[in-house]
């Protein structure tokens, strides 16, 4: 990438819906004494990036530099910053700021900030100074130190990047729902999110069943640590697991969605955790099963800074590791197309 002034980034931005990413110089937010500059070494590709580039979730602030699985090296810190220093390896996830003063922020739930401006996303949002937020398909990132996290010494930047969205998106709700050695956890979808979900649940001590639409990922699921493998299109498999799971983590959503089959496999008072975010509504939920088994249907939004720190420590201790394939940053258009084509096994990571 070409040299730049310290207040701009060079990023591969999407100029408009349906258009390829283009190397673009864009302004960074005004630096404050609470901020951190990171020289980006790696950025994971997330399905959220594609939803945003395609305006699948609503209006996009073009030109948009996506990417919210950022890892790099701290290049500058403000005088108020205490959690990282220049030279540290650090990362940023899907959130880059919050109001800091609402009830949610004050109680350690910054990821669901309800204050003025709400949760500020790492891209396709605006910093408090009005500057559009820009993500990690770039050479530099700048933002609030509260959402910057030191990478454990035994974790590489290329691996760490994926934890900051896919990792915490699956870790946080499993921890919140009390997954432990007495749990029987089903993970729907063995992909970018699901391959983390299997590993987290196994490391938390649970019995883990990988749930897929076909046999195609049976071998990978076993390598990730799944004890069992269930094909939801197989009626005999579904019948065998009737009333079995204490938790189901849903990381993949297709239409039509087999709510009845999944709910039939849940124990009473079980937790059905939805971390997939489709571009459609959740139609077809069977109210009878939901009520009769007292199933808790739960949503989850990434994780709080405290949960991200806990996740990184847990991953380092239990050797949870993403399966990644790397692309040079300059080949981001090729990598995004491969992501669209479903070729990831299981996360793509861009490298500067």
* CB 31 within 8 Å of CB 145: no
> Are residues 21 and 12 in contact, defined by beta-carbon separation less than 8 angstroms?
yes
Distance in angstroms (rounded) separating the CA atoms of residues 299 and 178: 15
On whether the CB atoms of residues 247 and 177 are closer than 8 A, the answer is yes
Q: What is the pLDDT of residue 244?
A: 98
Q: What pLDDT sits at residue 69?
A: 98
CA atoms within 13 A on the CB side of 277: 18
What distances in angstroms separate CA 276 from CA 121, 248, 273, 287, one per listed residue?
Answer: 18, 12, 9, 20
- Residue ranges for the chain with pLDDT beneath 50: 1-3
Spatial contact of 248 and 186, defined as CB atoms under 8 Å apart? yes
CA distance 85 to 99: 24
**Cβ density class 60-96: b for 16+ within 10 Å, e for less:** bebbbbbbbbbbbbbbebeeebeebeeebbbbbbbbb
C-alpha 77/C-alpha 32 separation (Å) is 9
Residue 4 has a pLDDT of: 52
CA distance 316 to 15: 38
Domain ranges of the chain: 8-151+322-351, 167-299
pLDDT in tens, 209-221: 999 999 999 999 9
- Options 3.40.50.300, 3.30.70.580, 3.10.20.740, 3.40.50.720; which CATH number does 167-299 get? 3.40.50.720
Q: In 3D, which of 90, 82, 64 has the Cα closest to residue 142?
A: 90
Task: Report the sign of the C-alpha dihedral through residues 6, 327, 148, 128, in that order.
Answer: positive
Answer for the pair 253, 279: CB distance below 8 angstroms, yes or no. Answer: no
Helix-helix angle 305-318:168-176, to 10 degrees: 100
pLDDT for 117 = 85
* Residue 67 contacts residue 48 (beta carbons within 8 Å): no
CATH architecture of the domain with residue range 8-151+322-351: Alpha-Beta Complex (3.90)
- CA count, 13 A, side-chain hemisphere, 33: 2
Predicted confidence at residue 183, as pLDDT, reads 98
Q: What is the pLDDT of residues 142-193, one digit of tens each?
A: 999 999 999 999 999 999 999 999 999 999 999 999 999 999 999 999 999 9
Cβ-in-10-Å burial (0-12, 13-18, 19+) of 190 comes to buried
Q: What is the pLDDT of residue 155?
A: 97
Can you tell me the distance from the alpha carbon of 13 to that of 26, in angstroms, rounded to the nearest whole number?
A: 9
């Amino acid at each position: 990438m070409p040299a730049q002034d310290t207040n701009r980034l060079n990023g591969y931005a999407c100029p408009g819906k349906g258009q390829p990413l283009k190397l673009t110089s864009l302004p960074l937010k005004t630096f404050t004494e609470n901020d951190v500059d990171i020289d980006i070494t790696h950025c994971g590709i997330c399905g959220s990036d594609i939803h945003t580039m395609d305006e699948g979730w609503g209006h996009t602030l073009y030109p948009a530099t996506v990417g919210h699985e950022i890892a790099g090296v701290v290049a500058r810190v403000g005088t108020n910053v205490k959690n990282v220093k220049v030279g540290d390896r650090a990362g940023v996830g899907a959130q880059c700021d919050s109001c800091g003063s609402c009830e949610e922020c004050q109680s350690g739930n910054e990821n669901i900030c309800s204050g003025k401006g709400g949760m500020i996303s790492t891209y396709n949002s605006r910093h408090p100074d009005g500057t559009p937020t820009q993500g990690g398909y770039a050479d530099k990132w700048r933002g609030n130190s509260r959402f910057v996290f030191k990478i454990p010494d035994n974790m590489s930047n290329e691996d760490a990047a994926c934890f900051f969205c896919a990792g915490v998106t699956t870790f946080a709700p499993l921890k919140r729902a009390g997954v432990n050695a007495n749990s029987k956890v089903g993970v729907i979808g063995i992909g970018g999110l699901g391959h983390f979900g299997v590993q987290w649940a196994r490391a938390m001590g649970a019995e883990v069943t990988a749930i897929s639409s076909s046999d195609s990922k049976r071998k990978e699921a076993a390598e990730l640590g799944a004890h069992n493998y269930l094909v939801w299109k197989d009626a005999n498999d579904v019948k065998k697991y009737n009333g079995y799971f204490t938790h189901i983590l849903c990381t993949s959503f297709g239409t039509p969605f087999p709510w009845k089959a999944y709910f039939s496999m849940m124990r009473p008072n079980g937790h059905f955790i939805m971390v997939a975010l489709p571009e459609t509504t959740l139609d077809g939920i069977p109210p009878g099963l939901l009520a009769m088994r007292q199933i808790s249907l739960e949503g989850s939004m990434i994780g709080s800074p405290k949960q991200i720190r806990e996740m990184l420590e847990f991953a380092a201790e239990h050797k949870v590791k993403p399966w990644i394939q790397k692309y040079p940053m300059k080949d981001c258009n090729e990598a995004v197309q491969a992501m669209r084509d479903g070729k990831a096994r299981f996360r793509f990571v861009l490298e500067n």
